[in-house]
Amino acid sequence: MRINVPACLAGLILIGAFAGCLCPRNSAGAQTASITIPPSPPYRPDQILVKPKPGVSLSALAGFHSVQGTVVLQTFQGIGGIEVLRLPPGGSVPDFVARYEQSGLVEFAEPDYEAHTFTTSPNDPKFTDGTLWGLNNFGQNGGTPHADIDAPDGWDIRTSASNIVVAVLDTGVWYTHEDLASNMWVNPHDGNHGTNALPGAIDLTGNDDSGHGTMIAGVLGALGNNGKGVAGVAWQVQIMACKCFNNFGVGNSSAILACLAYAQTNGAQIINASWGGNNSLALSNAVASTRDAGIIFVQACGNSGTNIDVAPVYPASWHFDNVVAVAWTTRNDTLASLSNYGATTVHLAAPGDNIYSTFAGSDNGYFSNSGTSFSAPYVTGALALVMARYPTETYQQIIARVLNGVDLLPALAGKCVTGGRLNLRKALSPPISLTSLPSAGGGAFAMRVSGGANRTCVVQVSTNLAAWFPVFTNTTSADGTFDFADNPSTNSTRRFYRAISTP
């Protein structure tokens, strides 16, 4: 199903660190140079975050809190005991951060940083013509055929991840939407579909008052084959709404930590994080805790056209093995000009241009937008399907299946770790394997290609493992195999063989 509609929105950013201006002067007092340090990022003026130092007496720390007049609002035991502290009236954040750092009682102290959505609004004339090309691109609206995630062939293998819980950490999810309601996770204790960790929240259900989070939920898991609206990558999945950003896309470290703790406590297996920002020690500890729990953390890498190997964006730039950072491709399989990238930091790309999805505000609202915010949930949905298909595998193995199954693209060479764009069919398919067979008559080399039923594979040959040339194409039989024999001349150079799946 393809629907043409207008567009708007995009991802989230977290910013960090105190700053000022240094102006060295010569002996006469004249200014000789100036170094401008970026301005201090926004943070809550009434709170800080601290992590107790290992081995420190918690009663000693509690006594220090009492002397300082601070109050512990939250403690995240699963993230090293990080505490959210309310400052006394008139307390200065830099002053209290310094006090705690000098106390010898904490591993670190930092502000409760603000976070903001990545907002990208492309203005090309075809923006309003976008349909679900990212799932199946046959050249519509000037696109390049097969510049998609190969979803129809992937769905031939699996459409449901109904036992997989995906936490969407964002502006919430409009959970009564016609394309989302039946895929919403339900908390067995209170019947809610998630949580709202924003300070002073009255509605604690995680409902969306912005639209950003609802769009992300639709890309990864809108109900498929129901005759309404759109289909997500996973037709069935359990979506947990974790609201840590308000309707303007602004949140804080403490709200993000609370949502991460909620997701971890309540059994989320994958987290979609279409936001990013500063190098917060508290947040890095929280992401590390999700790794320790075996949770996959899918991260949008940002929309500023920046090499984040050089100018890091967090959490994407943290090298935890559960973090999967995603760039944004166009309907022509090019890297979007506004997409961030990084040869060692960003793992793969996925469609992110003019993506049409569910929207908040009504039960039948839909909208279109561009950015890495919307490429990330393509990967999240794919990971959910792969996890459902291979339930005994570790998070590292699930991630490896997705990364090893990308379509290699010239536009992504040197721009991300894999150099490729997501392919759902390949991620869900068994890996291709080669087995030597007894030589056919005359000493011909023979091998068996195995890779799942009805899979078209190209056998390639090389003499140096650098340049490869196709020599045979065939489709596997119902048992998932076909045989190949090669009979090079007796004096030919040593040859190497491999098989790859065709798009």
Q: Which residues are catalytic?
A: 170, 212, 373
- One-letter amino acid at 487 equals N
Alpha helices of 140-243 — where are they, by DSSP H? 151-157, 212-221
> Hey, what long-range contacts does 83-86 have (CB within 8 A, 24 or more apart)?
83/49, 83/50, 83/51, 83/52, 84/47, 84/48, 84/49, 84/112, 84/254, 84/257, 85/47, 85/48, 85/49, 85/50, 86/46, 86/47
Supply the angle between the helices 212-221 and 372-389 in degrees, to the nearest 10. Answer: 40
Contacts of 178 (CB under 8 A, 6+ apart): 228, 229, 363, 364
Q: What is the rounded distance in angstroms from the CA atom of residue 297 to the CA atom of residue 105?
A: 31
Reduced to 3 states (helix: H, G, I; strand: E, B; else coil), residue 367 is: strand
Output the six-digit token pair for 306. 């920046």
Q: What is the rounded distance in angstroms from the CA atom of residue 313 to the CA atom of residue 327?
A: 12
Output the six-digit token pair for 84. 């959210």
Q: What is the rounded distance in angstroms from the CA atom of residue 307 to the CA atom of residue 329?
A: 15
Q: How far is CA 205 from CA 180, 192, 276, 299, in A?
A: 15, 6, 24, 23
DSSP secondary structure, 427-464, as one string = HHSPPPEEEEEEEEGGGEEEEEEESSTT-EEEEEEESS
Q: What is the rounded distance in angstroms from the CA atom of residue 241 to the CA atom of residue 463?
A: 53
Output the six-digit token pair for 278. 């500063």
Contacts of 355 (CB under 8 A, 6+ apart): 130, 134, 215, 219, 368, 369, 370, 374, 375
Q: How many residues does the chain have?
A: 503
How many other CB atoms are found less than 10 A from the CB of residue 361? 14
Alpha helices of 227-280 — where are they, by DSSP H? 253-265
Reduced to 3 states (helix: H, G, I; strand: E, B; else coil), residue 79 is: helix
Q: How far is CA 84 from CA 49, 72, 285, 299, 304, in A?
A: 5, 6, 14, 24, 31
Q: How far is CA 154 from CA 88, 173, 298, 380, 501, in A?
A: 56, 26, 20, 15, 13
